[in-house]
Amino acid sequence: MSIFKKFQRLEESGKKLKKEFGAFFNVVLEEIISSTEAVINGKRVILAGTNNYLGLSMDDSCIEAACQALRNEGTGTTGSRMANGTFSGHVKLEKELSSFWNRSHTIVFTTGYGANLAVLSSLAGPGEIVLLDSDCHASIYDGCRMGGADIFRFRHNDVKDLEKRLKRLSERGTNILIAVEGLYSMLGDRAKLEEIAEIKQKYGAYLLIDEAHSLGVLGDNGRGLVEESGVNEQVDFITGTFSKSLGSVGGFCSSNHPEIETLRYASRPYVFTASPSPANIAAARKALDIIIHRPDLRKRLWDNTYSLHERLSALGLSLGPEITPIIPVRYQDPDEALSTWTRLLENGVYVNMVLPPATPDGSAFLRCSLSAAHTARQIEAIAEAFEKAAAAGNLH
């Protein structure tokens, strides 16, 4: 039997998806004009699906910091953090992130995915338990599986279901780690962190929150849902990525538990992965400084969010459960989602299309993620494109 035999069903599904939704799967950003514009299929379009929440991937000072690091330290570290891959920038960023989150310890990883993989695979092992929200990111699931802990899901954002399972599982007398996200990347809703933290304290569990999409977005100072909910002290581990608001590549875990430092020796994804490049680290450091000192960017992001949400709601579109910079437009029929996505692109707007089974509730949706860099005119253009697409759909 061929080694590829096990992929046959997946390959057949892929061929079907490419046949039906090929235009989406073959999108190439041929030229990047700005953090909110690119050229796709030879046409200039507005990017409304990039997770570039503060527009910092094209910020001049971030680019200059990255260029300076390239000139001074080269294109890569050529080694892991355990070997020759720890440069001064890595150490400085860890201290800066610790200060930002008001934590005593931070470890920087090569990617956000790698951070969750490294932390969860090391923290929870055989005989221990991880209770995770059913909508958690794949990196959280993969990290849990890699560690060998017993994995249990609770219904998305259902605090009663969480407590029901936690009460039963606590009878085992072992360590229990609860994993949630600050902003869930598909529907854009927040974890009910205040209630979850209270339950965590009640049963003596540990709590990890992935602030990947909420860093720089939520909280008076951009410190994510832990800040907005006022439960920073009750959260044991904060993980996240540099690839959203920080506009770079990398990941981290911050904690007040000094034992977290042991992950530098115990975590295979940390020990055996080349460390983040100097340019990525320098760009992330500058972006973090901007988040701290430029609250106007966060205000602009939320102004854009409220503006587009109001316009799309007025069109009668089915949106997500909360108003956040992640705005999903939901369709029961995947073909309708595809036709709308195609019309949007024809009208100069790119958004993400998310199809079952990747969607949390089995529906298809077009996922908009807004940026502080979007102008008022661009927000209007996005709304107008949806309006035109809806009108064209009604004619058929």
Structure tokens at 139: 């990196």
Round to whole Å and give the CA distance between 380 and 129: 48
pLDDT of residue 211: 98
Q: Determine how β-strand 326-331 pairs with β-strand 364-369.
A: antiparallel
Helix (H) or strand (E) holding 121: helix 112-123
pLDDT of residue 19: 73
Closest by Cα among 340, 313, 263 to 94: 263
Q: Which residue in the list 35, 185, 248, 267 is annotated as catalytic?
A: 185
Q: Which residue in the list 105, 156, 192, 213 is annotated as catalytic?
A: 213
Q: Determine how β-strand 349-350 pairs with β-strand 237-241.
A: unpaired
Q: pLDDT tens across 239-254, in order?
A: 999 999 999 999 999 9
Handedness of CA 58, 281, 372, 363 (dihedral sign): positive
- How many CA atoms does the CB half-sphere of 91 hold within 13 Å? 5
Helix (H) or strand (E) holding 72: helix 60-73
Spell out the domains of the chain, with CATH numbers in brackets.
Answer: 12-47+295-394 (3.90.1150.10), 60-293 (3.40.640.10)
Round to whole Å and give the CA distance between 356 and 363: 6
Share of the chain above pLDDT 70, in %: 98
Helix (H) or strand (E) holding 9: helix 8-25
Residue carrying structure tokens 């996005």: 382
Q: Which residue in the list 105, 137, 244, 286 is annotated as catalytic?
A: 244
- Kindly give the confidence (pLDDT) of every residue in the chain, 396 residues in length, as a single tens digit, with 9 standing for 90 and above: 788 888 888 788 777 767 766 677 788 999 999 999 999 999 999 999 999 999 999 999 999 999 999 999 999 999 999 999 999 999 999 999 999 999 999 999 999 999 999 999 999 999 999 999 999 999 999 999 999 999 999 999 999 999 999 999 999 999 999 999 999 999 999 999 999 999 999 999 999 999 999 999 999 999 999 999 999 999 999 999 999 999 999 999 999 999 999 999 999 999 999 999 999 999 999 999 999 999 999 999 999 999 999 999 999 999 999 999 999 999 988 889 989 999 999 999 999 998 877 777 778 999 999 999 999 999 999 999 999 998 886 644
Sequence-distant (≥ 6) Cβ neighbours of residue 332 within 8 angstroms = 363, 364
Structure tokens at 73: 């330290």
185 is catalytic: yes
3-class secondary structure per residue, 236-270: CEEEEECCCCCCCCCEEEEECCHHHHHHHHHCHHH
What angle, 0 to 180 degrees and rounded to 10, lies between the N-to-C axes of helices 295-314 and 278-293? 80
User: Could you tell me the pTM of the whole model?
Assistant: 0.95
Round to whole Å and give the CA distance between 140 and 119: 9
pLDDT of residue 393: 66
pLDDT of residue 21: 67
**To 5 degrees, how large is the angle CA 219–CA 179–CA 365?**
75
213 is catalytic: yes
Q: What is the DSSP string of 123-145?
A: HS-TT-EEEEETT--HHHHHHHH
Round to whole Å and give the CA distance between 115 and 2: 34
**To 5 degrees, how large is the angle CA 306–CA 135–CA 55?**
40
104 is catalytic: no
3-class SS at 347? Answer: coil
